[in-house]
Structure 1
């Protein structure tokens, strides 16, 4: 007898030992059930669709167009049956529907549920057995269970009961809280007051920081031990379930503590929302295999922030702005620059644009495994991907036609074909991966060595207010294929304008190589080359299909065509120590671009294998990446020398340093030592030793340690 069968028998026996406690003896449970039921009813019912579903249900209680035979993890159309049960039950329970309390509809629901119970379909994918099916059946019982034959309800109970806290899928992560959610609704329907209270407490206590699976101390989320960033998938479900239950139990004896609610609000605003363009559109850089499903980058709704606002005043203005941005198309006022140290992901937001960088190291895997046949071409999505948004829809559903070896921001070997999907996930090969971030600006760096083919590059991104700089050095490969750095690949929206040899043109659709290019403009974003460059440009249709990236049953095999803008630099075959340098200027109109470029405020100080550094002349900021100890001249009188590999942001006033932000991307050091050619006083967490003869202050900064290793230390001088 297998484990699943044992669990079913155990649950069936244990359930019969408990007599149902009347909800009337605990008014709070009645209040909570009413709230859940009201939520399940939704905003309306499509009566025409309900009529079609009723007509299509045959005498056996099933729908002939559903394939009930294929129980594989890439198929299981059976889930359509249980989701239709919920739709029918909503219509029966909703006073706004013409089928409200309809006798024939209730008979159809009973027949469809009896068919499922009789066959008890088990999928090869545990998720359907412990989450998908129990979730639908629990909702069906809450909506119409009181009207169904007791014997049928009794037979349904063990199937719903597969969602329990000892289930295989209930491991600490986003799935555990969802399973607890289903379990609690099941116990609520069967009026098991004692265990209901225990499970609600489990849901509340899941809001905690973890060092393994779960919510990380930097407000990112890891679902598995591969340490892949799952904040906008499992981590989003994690927040949604908690917010739903915080609302369900508010002002009852089961209310969540303010402490837990505030942790969730912080996670939602400082984690989830900071991985979304303008707090509204999920960033492609924080997504994994789900992008192989249509609509994966659609604008987010307002349900979760609205529920949080109902249960707390904490950070209410920020929650309200998120709601306004999502529901009223209000303009985001967000200004931040954040590095998620534990997931090696950077995000940078300004009112006019959003940008991100995704990286990985020996500490994290590059990408999620293509579970269940999804994300079949995601090989390079973690390889320094850099996306930029001015409206939020730049990459929406681009994926069937995507050129998967030209991921924006990456430096990739162009192979004739990709390796098998089973080899997509790899641990990184380097440790120098990180960022210095002070909350407003950040510089991120990636000592990149491809785990797929050993292509090498030193890659860095320098983020400011109106632009950011992208540098690459040491680009090398021994393979007999060209290596390409892609600036962007996005939907083609309007004309492309090229400034080549001081001559502006609007090229016809096609693909071409351009030389002596000063800048290229497309869809509100300029790509400026401080040194005129040779680049490749595509502005033409690309073709593909959803089935090319997703093997799930029912995925469309139809070829689709979309017009794509694609810009890249070809470093040639067998490149050795090649470089690139470009500036991305988002949110600038073409009419002011020449003036903007002429007065560009950023300049590259160094772009070598040892140091990559950029100065912002107006802000008086230098951002620098030291792959090795070295010296950098900041101004005529001010210089910086480091004793360790590190990343630094230095702000100065004339020749006087005023603020410094440092980090150790290798995460080896307890303290970081460097010298400035200026007299600097000691500060808390920083000692200063002034050498009068050399005119140099030797500074030693105590760095964040433990789970915070790799995070930035900000010191005002």
Structure 2
């Protein structure tokens, strides 16, 4: 009996090892297939790299001594080695399983194994290089001849960098990814289990810490908005590994998959318009060429087709959105959302996107770091992204005038000012927030930065966005400006629907009711003010905003429109209405918009056609807004919309510190006289919208 038990135990161990080996083989095959599919674009470059490899296993055009922070030249060696390996292991390659190519691969691999190249940027050392080594070694498992054991051992040793347990968000996943590769190479089940635990750990909601937030924004480098950039890396890395381990014991569970898909489908993909993402969500990455065009997201969606085939129709729609053949306005949507953890607002329509970036004492301002985003000091001060076609801002950053970022109120310096704070710092203002019912809403921010103060609010209705500024004060010598837009010039600039701009710059005192049209975006002025406009070539270079990029001159014609407040304004103000996705302003539609207040205490707008009132209360008090008398006991952003025999009241706390708010509503015409006590969301939901129904006496 004892012998039988021993034999059964031994048989069980053999079967377990066989199962483990089967699992490892399956996962490695998935890696192999994915890498071959994503490497198809190298083409002629691979042939050149094969021919240019020296007898020492190097490429003469790579500076192996460089320790550069951003674009690190030695890393190119591993990229080329991977391309050579793909050519060797791909059945579609002309060099498939060629002995001469194998010998060159071994030389290049041996050269890297014999050295320890280091960048002064930890990311290259602890993430990029170990991941690249891992991919190379796994791919070589599918070669007719394998990497010599001594070389593989030395390279695996070089992968032992970084600690995922000490990192957060996308950085945690990136380090865990090369632990995952190392586990596959060594067929180490314990290491694979640990790597998977760390890889999937970031798929959880966190409150203000780095990672995926309860509002489904994404923060990294402190509480700094990074829906793209680090959020994008989160999507790429985790979708990849989830696809690798599908149909194995390591497959992701339903709960984590649901969170991951919600971020992808409800936050990330919606803010891409015709392949181009909102520049507000890319942090310092906007100083990199081509960053706003989203091509690699195709790979994410292809992975999701493998991971969750039940949603294949959804993934197909996403892929169609990233296809350049699909029309820019093909997606039918009517969405409004404020991200109370990320200080970010999106207003999405079939005809346009209008998105807004704010900041507060709870979130970091835009960062500079590694020599990137050198001029982005105002990138969180009420920055607006207006897209009709998609590429309005694509690669415009080298030629931007950086103190005239769209949407901002700033000092107009003689030259662009560098951002001194590295890696982001908390904004100085407490007041920042937004209210939303999912379709329309209002957002506001009390700017306190660079010696300038302003109350800025945006009222998002269906087709129109009313932009108000009040309490603009600055004692500095520079003039103060509010920029409506600064985008690529595309077509004529037309005043009031008839007068085409004939000069490249002008300053004009506009009258109430005048407007400017450019590139299917209208800018309507509901009151007289001094406007400046340029439509001419601007120049710059990528180097001036990113020290690792080219100093070559970049030129392009730019449309730039702003309000001039003059120097040292005291209680200055502005009002303008943006109507995107149109060829002409409808004056009758503009009459439906009533600006009732634009003061440091309150900003309020009514849309008569929608029967909607939106108001930003910076102070407690009683205010008349159209037919409504509204008394609030605390600062609040609110919205009133009319339903069937009821009114809906939406409120949000822009300070995120109140437990309740008391509102007294009187509307004699609607026979409303009601005091409403609203408990406000707390903890991770502080700042989100609360709603109440107000009955009307009218039947």
The CA deviation string for residues 372-394 of structure 1, in whole angstroms up to 9 with x for no partner, is: 11111111111110111001110
Give the aligned partner of residue 436 of structure 1. Answer: 435
- From 609, 613, 624, the counterpart of 2:604: 613
Give the aligned partner of residue 594 of structure 2. Answer: 603
Check conservation: 2:42, 2:83, Cα contact below 8 A.
no
Alignment of 1:409-448 (within 5 A): 409-423=407-421, 425-448=424-447
Alignment of 1:41-190 (within 5 A): 41-42=36-37, 44=40, 46-74=42-70, 76-145=72-141, 147-165=146-164, 170-190=166-186
The CA deviation string for residues 159-208 of structure 1, in whole angstroms up to 9 with x for no partner, is: 12225535xxx512111111111211121022112321332233233311
Check conservation: 2:202, 2:212, Cα contact below 8 A.
no
Distance 2:305 2:55 in 1: 47
Moved more, 484-493 or 523-532: 523-532
1:676 aligned counterpart, secondary structure: strand
2:420 aligned counterpart, secondary structure: helix
Moved more, 486-495 or 130-139: 130-139
Structure 1 residues 530 and 420 mapped into 2: Cα distance closer, same or farther (>3 Å)?
closer
Structure 1 residues 240 and 598 mapped into 2: Cα distance closer, same or farther (>3 Å)?
closer
The CA deviation string for residues 213-255 of structure 1, in whole angstroms up to 9 with x for no partner, is: 2111111112222x11012111111122221222222222221
Check conservation: 1:134, 1:163, Cα contact below 8 A.
no
Structure 1 residues 33 and 313 mapped into 2: Cα distance closer, same or farther (>3 Å)?
closer
Q: Which runs of 5+ in 1 are unaligned?
A: 1-20, 682-691
1:302 aligned counterpart, secondary structure: helix
The CA deviation string for residues 283-322 of structure 1, in whole angstroms up to 9 with x for no partner, is: 1111211111111100343222332243336766554432
Distance 1:25 1:587 in 2: 57
Structure 1 residues 421 and 289 mapped into 2: Cα distance closer, same or farther (>3 Å)?
same
Structure 1 residues 431 and 159 mapped into 2: Cα distance closer, same or farther (>3 Å)?
same
Distance 2:345 2:333 in 1: 15
Distance 2:415 2:361 in 1: 26
Structure 1 residues 171 and 560 mapped into 2: Cα distance closer, same or farther (>3 Å)?
same
User: Could you tell me how far 1:560 is from its partner in structure 2?
Assistant: 1.3
Alignment of 1:250-261 (within 5 A): 250-261=246-257
Structure 1 residues 470 and 314 mapped into 2: Cα distance closer, same or farther (>3 Å)?
farther
Check conservation: 1:611, 1:630, Cα contact below 8 A.
no
Distance 1:575 1:45 in 2: 55
Moved more, 664-673 or 425-434: 425-434
Distance 2:568 2:51 in 1: 65
- From 634, 645, 651, the counterpart of 2:641: 651
Distance 1:136 1:37 in 2: 13
User: Could you tell me how far 1:353 is from its partner in structure 2?
Assistant: 0.5
Give the aligned partner of residue 663 of structure 2. Answer: 674
Distance 1:534 1:347 in 2: 29
Give the aligned partner of residue 705 of structure 1. Answer: 682
Give the aligned partner of residue 582 of structure 1. Answer: 576
User: Could you tell me how far 1:78 is from its partner in structure 2?
Assistant: 0.5
Structure 1 residues 37 and 313 mapped into 2: Cα distance closer, same or farther (>3 Å)?
closer
1:490 aligns with 2:471: no
User: Could you tell me how far 1:504 is from its partner in structure 2?
Assistant: 2.9
Give the aligned partner of residue 630 of structure 2. Answer: 640
Check conservation: 1:537, 1:566, Cα contact below 8 A.
yes
User: Could you tell me how far 1:341 is from its partner in structure 2?
Assistant: 0.6
Moved more, 64-73 or 147-156: 64-73
The CA deviation string for residues 67-95 of structure 1, in whole angstroms up to 9 with x for no partner, is: 11121324531111111111111111111
Structure 1 residues 110 and 293 mapped into 2: Cα distance closer, same or farther (>3 Å)?
same
- From 270, 284, 288, the counterpart of 1:289: 284
Moved more, 106-115 or 625-634: 625-634
User: Could you tell me how far 1:509 is from its partner in structure 2?
Assistant: 4.6
Check conservation: 1:275, 1:286, Cα contact below 8 A.
no
Moved more, 627-636 or 131-140: 627-636
Structure 1 residues 198 and 439 mapped into 2: Cα distance closer, same or farther (>3 Å)?
same
Give the aligned partner of residue 556 of structure 2. Answer: 562
Moved more, 265-274 or 287-296: 265-274
Distance 1:84 1:509 in 2: 51
Give the aligned partner of residue 13 of structure 1. Answer: none
User: Could you tell me how far 1:25 is from its partner in structure 2?
Assistant: 5.0
RMSD of equivalent CA atoms: 2.3
Distance 2:237 2:226 in 1: 16
- From 672, 675, 693, the counterpart of 1:716: 693
The CA deviation string for residues 352-388 of structure 1, in whole angstroms up to 9 with x for no partner, is: 11011111111112112x2211111111111110111
Give the aligned partner of residue 16 of structure 1. Answer: none
Alignment of 1:210-249 (within 5 A): 210-211=206-207, 212-225=209-222, 227-249=223-245
Distance 1:236 1:384 in 2: 23
1:476 aligns with 2:473: yes
- From 400, 403, 406, the counterpart of 2:404: 406
The CA deviation string for residues 560-585 of structure 1, in whole angstroms up to 9 with x for no partner, is: 11010000011000111111001000
1:354 aligns with 2:350: no
Check conservation: 1:491, 1:563, Cα contact below 8 A.
yes
2:322 aligned counterpart, secondary structure: helix
Check conservation: 1:22, 1:191, Cα contact below 8 A.
no
1:367 aligns with 2:366: yes
Q: Which runs of 5+ in 2 are unaligned?
A: 1-15, 695-699
Check conservation: 2:517, 2:583, Cα contact below 8 A.
no
Distance 2:43 2:487 in 1: 39
User: Could you tell me how far 1:512 is from its partner in structure 2?
Assistant: 1.1
- From 236, 259, 262, the counterpart of 1:263: 259
2:403 aligned counterpart, secondary structure: coil
Distance 1:705 1:313 in 2: 37
Check conservation: 2:176, 2:199, Cα contact below 8 A.
yes
The CA deviation string for residues 261-302 of structure 1, in whole angstroms up to 9 with x for no partner, is: 011111112222344346x42111112111111111003432
Give the aligned partner of residue 209 of structure 1. Answer: 205
Give the aligned partner of residue 466 of structure 1. Answer: 463
Moved more, 700-709 or 246-255: 246-255
1:268 aligned counterpart, secondary structure: helix
Size of the aligned set, in residue pairs, is 667
State the TM-score, normalizing by the size of structure 1. 0.89
1:629 aligns with 2:620: yes
Check conservation: 1:412, 1:455, Cα contact below 8 A.
yes
1:421 aligned counterpart, secondary structure: coil
User: Could you tell me how far 1:599 is from its partner in structure 2?
Assistant: 5.2
Distance 1:158 1:259 in 2: 35
